[in-house]
Amino acid sequence: MVDIITFFQTIPNEYRTIILIGGLSFLTVLEMGFPLISFKYDRLKHIALNLFFTLTTILINVAGASLILYACIKAQSLDFGVLNIIELPIFIELIIGIMVLDLIGAWLVHFLEHKVRWMWKFHIIHHTDQYVDASTGLRHHPGEGIIRLCFTSLAVFISGASFGIVMIYQTLSVFFAHLTHANIKIPKKIDRLLSIFFVTPDFHKIHHHFALPKTDSHYGNIFSIWDHIFQSSIKKYEMSSIQYGLDTHMDIEETRNIRTMLMIPFKEYRPPVGSKFGQ
Ligand SMILES: [Zn+2]
């Protein structure tokens, strides 16, 4: 276990890139064999657009690694953070570290992105995808990438996780982002059983329904338990009723162009059906 954490502590960026591309390619092949929905779309064009935003997200994370490292060192030197306060066996430390990082660095920031108007405007482009597949996983506006980096650093400080644990979490987080968006058909019983603890492909797709209240539910990334605890999960859902996209941004011309997508946060706020923020 210590060896694995040490390996991730010094993992070269090339290895992380190989894991990311390998995972994405594997899921894309699965999507062709076992699709949840048979999309009539230009797969390559769709992937190319989403990969642009994936690349900017990765660049922000690579550039921000020093901020995360700083949060690790600061928490350690101040004896701050859950894992710096309590002495635990290394395996338990890893599990708790990943859970706290997932709660603050993924669930909480995602929840806030849906509740705070200026944050929502950056998050919109993730929801505008009308063909959700593995490539949608990291389709984030660069501004959202920076917001998420700040919350990940805060999560690192609060958790007191070592840099090795943070790197394991980030690798898992990217894998889950791609897996849970993948357009793959999973046997319903297996998906529902796993979704008691983990975010599964079906569980996450509810979040990509084009209208409220489903859009404002299922915020989890790795663990679904946060949605169960904070009551943001929907008990009964049918995958056949899901329609992807966002009611305020259904014009395909606006959402398949990099320039217009980058401008979305700076345009006037559009209230959704059943308005989210009053006016
Ligand atoms: Zn969302």
**CA distances in angstroms from 125 to 9, 50, 259, 268, listed in the order given:** 32, 10, 12, 14
Say how many Å lie between the CA of residue 147 and the centre of ligand 1: 14
Instruction: Calculate how far, in angstroms, residue 200's C-alpha sits from the geometric centre of ligand 1.
Output: 15
Are residues 261 and 125 in contact, defined by beta-carbon separation less than 8 angstroms?
Answer: yes
Strand partners, 7: none
CA of 58 to the centre of ligand 1 (A): 18
Q: What integer pLDDT is reported at residue 271 of this predicted model?
A: 81
CA of residue 244 to ligand 1 center, whole Å: 12
CA of 17 to the centre of ligand 1 (A): 24
Question: How confident is the chain (279 residues) per 10-residue block, as mean pLDDT?
Answer: 71 79 89 89 89 91 88 87 83 93 96 95 94 92 95 93 91 93 93 94 92 87 96 85 85 84 88 61
* Domain map (residue ranges) of the chain: 2-266
Per-residue pLDDT, 78: 87
**Ligand 1 mean position, distance from CA 127 (Å):** 6
Cα 186 to chain center, whole Å? 20
pLDDT value of position 275:
54
pLDDT for res 274: 59
Distances (CA, A) of 218 to 116, 156, 180, 181, 209: 17, 23, 11, 13, 11
What is the CA(259)–ligand 1 centre distance, in A? Answer: 21
**Interval between CA 229 and ligand 1 midpoint (Å):** 18
CA angle 93, 98, 101 (to 5 degrees): 120
The structure's pTM equals: 0.90
43 vs 24, 32, 108, 183, 240, CA distance in Å?
14, 10, 32, 12, 22
Which single residue is written with the structure tokens 């793959």? 184
Closest by Cα among 53, 277, 36, 7 to 180: 36
- Evaluate whether 100 touches 176 at the Cβ level (below 8 Å): no
Return the number of other C-beta atoms located less than 10 Å from residue 185's C-beta: 17
**What three-state secondary structure class fits 145?**
helix
